[in-house]
Amino acid sequence: MTVLQARPGTARLTRRGATAYADHTAAHGPLPLPDRVGPAWQQWLLSAVERSGLTGRGGAGFPSATKMRLAASAAGPVLLVNAMEGEPASSKDHYLLAVAPHLVLDGADLVAAAIGASRVIFCIPNDRRSAAAMVAAALADRRELAAAPCQPELALLEPRFVAGEESALAAAAAGKLGIPSFRPDKGVPLRFGRGAALVHNPETLAHTALIARRGPEWFRQLGADEVPGTCLVTISGAVARPGVAEVETGTPVRAIIDIAGTCDAVQAVLVGGYGGSWLGGNSLDVPYAPTPLRACGAVMGAGVFIALAPRACGWRETERVARFLAAESAGQCGPCVFGLPAIAADLGLIADGRADREVLDRLLARCDQVAGRGACRHPDGAARLVRSALVAFGADLRSHLSGAPCPGSRLLALGTLPNARHEASRS
Amino acid sequence: MKLLLDPTKCDGFGFCAELLGDVVALDEWGFPVLAGGNLPAERLRAARQAAKMCPRRAIQVVP
């Protein structure tokens, strides 16, 4: 994964990458954590995060201070750093851990102190041992740090698409099966064993480390009002230089893709992740921020941008992503277990040119049927993906439904999807 | 009062739809789809019975 240079002035997390702790403190200054953490300091930090408007960078985009305050209300909560990065097309969290591990660790120390955490656990997929080694090396480098509230632990967990979902992560970190649980009341802290847990994405913690040093007003100087600051994005697909970049929130999608140098005019961009939305045509000018994206049926997700080449078939690629999502279901909720494979099969018929209007209607009815009916948002993402395809690839639909699929339907434009299991099931 | 379904427990036995046909429909795979909102007062008894009869204890009547 190459490092991309974004517009000058937008690199905050990635500008002064320093892997040695001494270099890191020389660049950013010491960790603003008092030797004795009292309630006044805790309130100061939580209030600074609140006023900064920081939102979670793991995909859900929830206000970070609200989560922190909820966890702080529980006794000795566990802080889980969610470095699972289950989105196959996302590399930004592991990139951040490689270039600026101490910003993430600073953020973890600060948040742990602010919520009175009893433990800090870094959750890393067990197939990403290099990321674990980087975190371990960075931890060893700052062992002298007296102020840190507790020595972070490392947990190597089973990688899955849904493994990063909060309740799935909390279960896995507690030694149980890492699958989402049913949580009708989001107003109570996430459970971890007998206590409570707070889950934060590494990038969210890194921003917190800068907010604590430079203040909420500084943080809000960049980015969209509703989600201030910068964010890390992973750009891949039909671009000249795939990689990670740091951009202001609210940057138009087209400008983000242009950072990676498009090879050719792009047909559409999958924004947010595999459970995200295809944006094409004029929608590519939409700012990367929740409200304008919502008007296009899209969400910010975890900063994933996948460009689709002009000659590729949007329906074939949507089918492939849908098969991946079906294979990655945790297998708990009926509508997801049965609905996602059915949706993928309908998409396959459309891509093959073997579908009629009836299949299309069935597909849309199935999307309505699965959305909102799982314990987690996995089926909602699949439904969103399909609905966005209808808009972005609506022009191709007529030929597909009349038995003449586009020539690109025989291509696999997004390359081999990371998990080959789902492709084996294709006949 | 309303119905609360835990989709991780539900195995699609369908007793709830049998007892509460006007409140619970089944999707094409046999899993319950709940009509939103509060239960009509005259359906409360049937709803409690449906909750009791669910083999997976997946459905509850909650305030």
Give residue-wise pLDDT tens across range A26-70: 999 998 988 888 999 999 999 999 999 999 999 889 999 999 999
The mean pLDDT of chain A is 91
Strand A2-3: give its sheet, edge to edge: A2-3, A243-248, A230-237, A304-308, A268-271, A277-280
pTM: 0.93
Nearest to A196 by CA among A237, A166, A163: A166
Nearest-angstrom CA–CA distance, A116 and A253: 39
Of residues A334, A342, A369, nearest to B7 (C-beta): A334
Closest residue in chain A to residue B4, using alpha carbons only: A184
| A315 within 8 A of A351, measured Cβ to Cβ | yes
Of residues B8, B11, B27, nearest to A182 (C-beta): B8
Closest residue in chain A to residue B3, using alpha carbons only: A184
Flag if A375 and B8 touch (Cβ within 8 Å): yes
For testing the chain B interface, which of A177, A185, A329, A333 should be mutated: the one with the most B CBs within 10 Å? A333
Averaged pLDDT for residues A7-22: 81
| A277 within 8 A of A297, measured Cβ to Cβ | yes
For residue A359, the chain B residues in CB contact (below 8 A) are none
The per-residue pLDDT for A167 is: 94
The per-residue pLDDT for A287 is: 97
* Residues A263-310 pLDDT 10s: 668 999 999 999 999 999 889 999 999 999 999 999 999 999 999 998
The per-residue pLDDT for A298 is: 95
Per-residue confidence band for A3, with pLDDT thresholds at 50, 70 and 90: low
Give per-residue burial for A46-76: e unless 16+ CB within 10 Å, then b: bebbbebbbbbbbbbbeebbebbbbbbebee
The residue whose two tokens read 């919502």 is: A294
For residue A373, the chain B residues in CB contact (below 8 A) are 7, 31, 33
Poorest-pLDDT segment among A43-52, A184-193, A296-305, A357-366: A184-193
- Interface A:B, Cβ pairs < 8 A: 41
The per-residue pLDDT for A420 is: 44
Nearest-angstrom CA–CA distance, A424 and A328: 14
Q: What percent of chain A has pLDDT over 90?
A: 77
The per-residue pLDDT for A417 is: 61
Kindly report the backbone phi and psi dihedral angles of residue A84, in degrees, each rounded to the nearest multiple of 5, phi listed first. Answer: -75, -30
* Residues A200-214 pLDDT 10s: 999 999 999 999 999
Statement: residue B4 has pLDDT above 50: yes
Averaged pLDDT for residues A301-322: 94
Per-residue confidence band for A427, with pLDDT thresholds at 50, 70 and 90: very low
Per-residue confidence band for A426, with pLDDT thresholds at 50, 70 and 90: very low
The per-residue pLDDT for A421 is: 46
* Residues A113-154 pLDDT 10s: 999 999 999 999 999 888 999 999 999 988 776 666 788 999
> Nearest C-alpha of chain B: how many angstroms from A337?
10
